[in-house]
Amino acid sequence: METIRILIADDHAFVREGTRRILEQEADLEVVAEAGDGEETVKLACELKPDVALVDVAMPRIDGIEATRRIKALCPAIAVLVLSAYDDDQFIFGLLEAGAAGYLLKSVRGQEIVNAIRAVHAGESVLHPSVARKVLNRFAGISGKPRERKSLDLLTEREMEVLKMVTKGLSNKDIAEGLCLSVRTVQGHLANIFNKLRVSSRTEAVVHALKEGWVTLDDVS
C-alpha cells in the first residue's frame, strides 16, 4: 500500500495534535511534520515535499492563501487541502485561485478528512457542499461567452469530454462508463489534461475551465 505523506499546518497545537491522531490511525497515512504558521508551512513543504499539505486559512506571519500560492509555485506536485472554519467567499476563491486542490470546513468528521486526503492525492476534487456551488457560480460568471475553439487548440475533443464530466463531479469510474472507456484510459486523459493546463488536481482543472469559458453551468447541471 502506498503511504501518503502529510504536512499539517494550523496555528492551534491542539488542532494539529487531534488531526495527527486521526490520520495516524490509518495505515496508508503518515504525518511527516506540523507547522504553526504560514512561513514555517512553506519552508517545511519545500524541505520535506509531502504528498498533501493540510492547511488552515488563518495563520500568523503569512496566511493560508499566500502559503498555498508559494507552495504551488515552488512545489507544484504537492496537493494542498484546506481545512478551514470559514466559508467566506474571499477565502474560498483566494485559496482556489492560489492552487488549492480542495476546501473543507472544520465541521466535517475525521473520516471525511481521511477520505479527502486520499482523494486529493489521487487528483480528485474535494469541495465541501456549501463551497461547491459558490465556486461554480463565481468562476462560471467570469469569462462571459464560451471559447470552445481555444480549448480545442489545447485539449483534444476526448479530453474536453472528460473535463466536462469532471466538472459535473463524476468519478473516474462514472466517466469511464459514460464514455465507454476503461478507468485506466480515463486516468491517462486526466494526466494529459493536468499536464497541458499545468495543474495538479481536478479542482484546479475545473476552475481553469470555468474561468476560460470552456465549460458553463449548463454543462454542470
CATH code where residue 127 lies: 3.40.50.2300
Q: pTM here? A: 0.73
Residue type, position 82, single letter = V
Number of domains in the chain: 2
Q: What angle do CA 60, 63, 69 make, to 5 degrees?
A: 145
C-alpha 39, offset from chain centre: 21
Query: Residues 24-51: what's their mean pLDDT?
Result: 95
Give the model confidence (pLDDT) of 74-121 as tens digits: 998 899 999 888 878 778 888 888 888 888 888 888 899 999 999 888
The range of the structural domain enclosing residue 94 comes to 4-136
The answer on pLDDT for 151 being more than 60 is: no
Of 117, 136, 155, the last residue of a domain is 136
- What is the Cα–Cα distance from 83 to 202, expressed in whole angstroms? 18
Same domain, 105 and 39: yes
Same domain, 147 and 110: no
CATH code where residue 153 lies: 1.10.10.10
Query: Residues 126-134: what's their mean pLDDT?
Result: 71
Please state the length of the chain.
Answer: 221
Same domain, 151 and 119: no
Give the residue carrying C-alpha cell 494526466. 191
| DSSP symbol at 108 | S
Same domain, 125 and 155: no
Of 120, 136, 152, the last residue of a domain is 136
Same domain, 98 and 157: no
Cβ density class 61-79: b for 16+ within 10 Å, e for less: ebbbbbbbbbbbeebeebb
Of 95, 119, 136, the last residue of a domain is 136
Same domain, 207 and 151: yes
